[in-house]
Structure 1
Amino acid sequence: MSQSRLIDLPSERSAAPSPNPPNLAIASSPWVKTQDREDNQFPELDLTAINQQLVNASSEKIIEWGFQTFGDRLVMSTSFGIQAAVMLHLVTRIVPNIPVVWIDTGYLPTETYTFAEELTQKLNLNLQVYQSPLSPARMEALYGKLWQQEDLESLNRYDQIRKVEPMQRALRELKAIAWLAGLRKDQTSHRQGLKPLVKQGKQYKVLPILNWNSKDIYEYLTAYNLPYHPYFDQGYVSVGDWHSSRPLLASDENERDTRFHGVKQECGLHLPLTPEAAQSLDSSSL
């Protein structure tokens, strides 16, 4: 893959990048020549040391580091949500042909599908769509409408079937060592404790806009004339499946309170892979 020119962003969006230290340079990366490694091999990186280097880096530098380190084993994920255009534009300016993984649950609003098509064409995305092998109709026949039960166990089962399993399969089939995600600290209590580079299961997750806020998002969308999801004009600040998303209320503490009937804040894609750890984090977010 070729790299495009880095984007110049306002300095308040992220801390000014420091020069790349030696252990973050291409020449010393443990995973640059990914094509020479076995498909089932994963690097062991010093998360503490790397995060000390990345914590003050710009979003562009973090993305560039991810590409330099993981090469063609780096993917990104998107939900085509309210602010999805930011990450899609930011990443593909630097890694134009990166595989973009979209988990289609089968329960997305019609507007999400049209928004996805618009951004795919506008940004020339290398879109990789994954779905559960269990159709919505079959899942409902076997388990009922899990989202209507509004208890943590049912919602976790729903997320495992419709989101987590397809994402894990995507990472395996694409032979991903790491994936870029647009998580932000101001979204959930779990995300407040994250670093720019984290490990989830075998894969690493690179989080270039972790320190951004809503103002940063708005400024980026405006600067590059990028669209919000159509539901933004209806008062939504976050959107997923049609049955588990609602507009923002004055009583909401953060944007993720508008999801999952207030029972949970995370959909499961960005939680630890063990059920016990995931449930503990979900419960702490109530």
Structure 2
Amino acid sequence: MTMGLNASTRNIVAPQRTFHHGADLDAFNQRFRDAKPSEIMRFTIEEAENPVVFTNFRPLAVAFLHLVTRAKPDVPVIWVDHGYNTPETYRHIERLIKQLDLNLYTYSPKMSAAHYNAVYGGIPKLDTPEHDFFSRTVKLEPFNRAMQELQPDVWLNGIRHDQNAHRKNLDVFTRGNHGTVRVAPMFHLKEIDVEEYVYENDLPDNDVYFDPTKGEEHRECGLLLQK
């Protein structure tokens, strides 16, 4: 026998999530315009239902990883291992896994670097259709697969306004792909601020780094350009 719902039960409305594509991100950005990264991080972790971190372990990325794992030690950390990292980067990652106790989720392309090099002749020239295909194959596809599997509402990242022209026009809270809200707690910092954070917290850094999908420091690899 099915029991009917009384009026008070029928009128219950599920609480509205803080982070969704209809959220007033302009209000969030205004509210946290002068906030410390730790304050932004604390608010985000408290309000997010399923946050994830994306990192490539580039120079100074350790500062962001330290900041976020202090707020939420078990936050899923997505890393796309495209297979072209330097030996120093791989050793750096192993150190940080142990030191920060990272909850690391590693995603790799469906085609290994050796396979790609053998079939396509290595990393293509920048700003060519071949390089676009390369970026989609070794970085964007694994990243999208990770987001589809983990289904986050918040994508935490370490981007800053001073890194390139595209990022200068973003903000702390922006709409990301896969229905996420991107949150960049360190967005308003400058490089020297992050360097000081690394020094003050005695964190190991990665100085020998290479991203084949960017090639040059000022270029975007494509993750932030996806809709």
- Contact 1:31 1:43 (C-alpha < 8 Å) held by counterparts: no
Displacement of 1:149 in angstroms is 2.8
Which stretch shows the higher mean deviation, 150-159 or 181-190? 150-159
SS at match of 2:182: strand
What residue is the counterpart of 1:226 in the other structure?
203
Match among 142, 145, 148 for residue 166 of structure 1: 142
Asked if 1 retains the 8 angstrom alpha-carbon contact of 2:21 and 2:181, the reply is no
Matched residue, 2:42: 64
- Match in the other structure for 2:17: 31
Task: Tell me the CA shift for residue 50 of structure 1.
Answer: 1.7
Q: Which runs of 5+ in 1 are unaligned?
A: 1-28, 35-41, 232-238, 245-258, 274-286
State how far apart, in whole Å, the 2-side matches of 1:228 and 1:141 are. Answer: 32
Task: Kindly provide the CA deviation profile for residues 184-220 of structure 1, in whole angstroms up to 9, marking residues without a partner as x.
Answer: 1111100001111111222111010011112101211
TM-score (norm 2): 0.86
- The answer to whether the aligner puts 1:175 opposite 2:145 as a matched pair is no
Contact 1:178-1:205 at 8 Å conserved across structures: yes
- Greater relative contact order (Cα 8 A, min sep 6): structure 1 or 2? 2
- CA–CA distance in structure 1, aligned partners of residues 34 and 219 of structure 2: 27
5+ long unaligned stretches in structure 2: 1-14
**Contact persistence 1:130–1:166 (CA under 8 A):** yes
What's the TM-score, normalizing by structure 1?
Answer: 0.69
Q: Secondary structure at the match of 1:198?
A: strand
Identity %: 33
Q: CA deviation at 1:261?
A: 5.0
1:266 Cα deviation from its structure 2 partner: 0.4
Aligned partner letter, 1:222: Y
How many residues in Structure 1 have an aligned counterpart in Structure 2?
213
What residue is the counterpart of 2:88 in the other structure?
111
Equivalent of residue 125 in structure 2, options 141, 149, 152: 149
Letter of the structure 1 residue corresponding to residue 156 of structure 2: L
1:125 maps to 2:109: no
- Report what 2:58 is aligned to: 81
In structure 2, how many angstroms separate the alpha carbons of the residues matched to 1:151 and 1:195?
A: 26
Distance 1:151 1:94 in 2: 39
CA deviations 1:147-201 (Å, max 9, x no partner) are 3333332222211111111111111111211111000111110000111111122
12, 15, 22: which one aligns with 1:44 = 22
What is the Cα-based RMSD across aligned positions, in Å?
2.2
> Superposed, which structure 2 residues align to 1:196-207 within 5 Å?
196-201=172-177, 202-207=179-184
Find the aligned partners of 2:59 and 2:21 in 1 and give their Cα distance. 34
Residue 142 of structure 1 deviates from its aligned partner by 4.2
When Rg is computed on C-alpha atoms for both structures, the one with the higher figure is 2
1:52–1:83 CA distance, 2 compared to 1 (3 A):
same
Distance 1:109 1:63, change over 3 A: same
Contact 1:179–1:205 under 8 Å retained in 2: yes
Structure with greater helix share of residues: 1
Matched position secondary structure for 2:225: coil
Higher mean C-alpha deviation, range 183-192 or range 153-162: 153-162
Cα distance, 1:230 vs. partner? 4.0
CA distance in 1, matches of 2:185, 2:128: 30
Q: Which residue does 1:269 correspond to in 2?
A: 223
CA contact (8 A) 1:103 1:130 kept: yes
Q: Is the 8 A contact 1:132 1:165 kept in 2?
A: yes
Aligned partner of 1:256 in structure 2 is: none
Alignment check: 8 A CA contact 2:60 2:194 kept: yes
